[in-house]
Amino acid sequence: MRILTVLAAATVAVAAFIPPAHAAGPLGEAGGTLALPLHDAVKVLPAAEESRAGYQRTSFRHWVDADRDGCSTRNEVLLDEAFLAPEQTAPCRLAGGEWYSAYDNLYISSPGGLDIDHLVPLAEAWDSGASTWSAAEREAYANDLGDERSLIAVSARSNRSKADQDPAEWLPPYVPYHCQYLTDWVATKMRWQLAVDDRERDTLTQATVGCPNVPVEVTFAR
């Protein structure tokens, strides 16, 4: 279950090579790790102009059953994040259960009331570099269960309010969650080596000034 956590101040183990701020090149190789304080992590995100040319949501095949256990990615997230487990019948049909929607501080007791949000929306990922990826890479992104920050169960209303907006345009209505949301946004962009434009970086820089400068550690997915 995803719960708001407060991380103690820690000495951060930084990879041997740290790109300079506004780096255009890759931060690391797939499978490698990088850990930086939040404020430094914002600075190293690659810079690029965004373009939505050619975007189609169908370019990201999602809610697959990658491990062939009968549960789609959507249901895997629901099962992982439920604090009251739903009843599960074959083939991975869920009923009942209870979840916490951190975006709007709501408790939801039906799977049908939840959306699984791509923390960095598919369209935003496309704009930020995924337009050049292979179909397999886009499918991996859309079904990323390798990092719990990538996908989150939230109320359908809050997810549809967010749509495909980045933090310069939308933040969760529940203000106490802003720092966690921004930290997870930065982590997801780092993990997938997605770029930010100037407006997005400025927003992330300013919005995280008052946030704990916690370690942001990622394993690169590509």
Among candidate residues 219, 43, 77, the one with its CA nearest the CA of residue 152: 77
Q: What is the pTM of this model?
A: 0.89
pLDDT tens-place string over residues 116-165: 999 999 999 999 999 999 999 999 999 999 999 999 999 999 999 999 99
pLDDT value of residue 11: 36
Q: Is-cis flag, bond preceding 91, omega within 30?
A: yes
Instruction: Give residue-wise pLDDT tens across range 208-222.
Output: 999 999 999 999 999
Residue 217: name the closest of 21, 28, 2 by CA. 28
Whose tokens are 């923390």? That residue is 119
Label residue 194 exposed, middle or buried (CB < 10 Å: 0-12, 13-18, 19+). Answer: buried
Cβ neighbours for 67, distance < 8 A, ≥ 6 positions apart = none
The percent of residues in the chain predicted with pLDDT above 70, rounded, is: 89
Q: Give residue 26's pLDDT.
A: 81
Please choose, from the candidates 187, 188, 185, 178, the residue with its C-alpha nearest in 3D space to the C-alpha of residue 209: 178
For 170-199, the pLDDT digits (tens) are 999 999 999 999 999 999 999 999 999 999
Please state the domain extents for the chain: 33-219
Residue whose tokens read 């927003």: 203
Average pLDDT over residues 2-13: 37
Give CA–CA dist 33/218, Å, rounded. Answer: 6
What is the overall mean pLDDT for the chain?
91
- List the alpha helices (DSSP H) in the chain: 38-44, 73-81, 122-127, 135-142, 156-162, 178-191, 198-207
Give, in order, the Cα–Cα distances in Å from 216 to each of 6, 38, 97, 134, 183.
Answer: 13, 6, 31, 27, 7
CA of residue 213 relative to chain centroid, distance? 18
Is 90 exceeded by the pLDDT of residue 19?
Answer: no
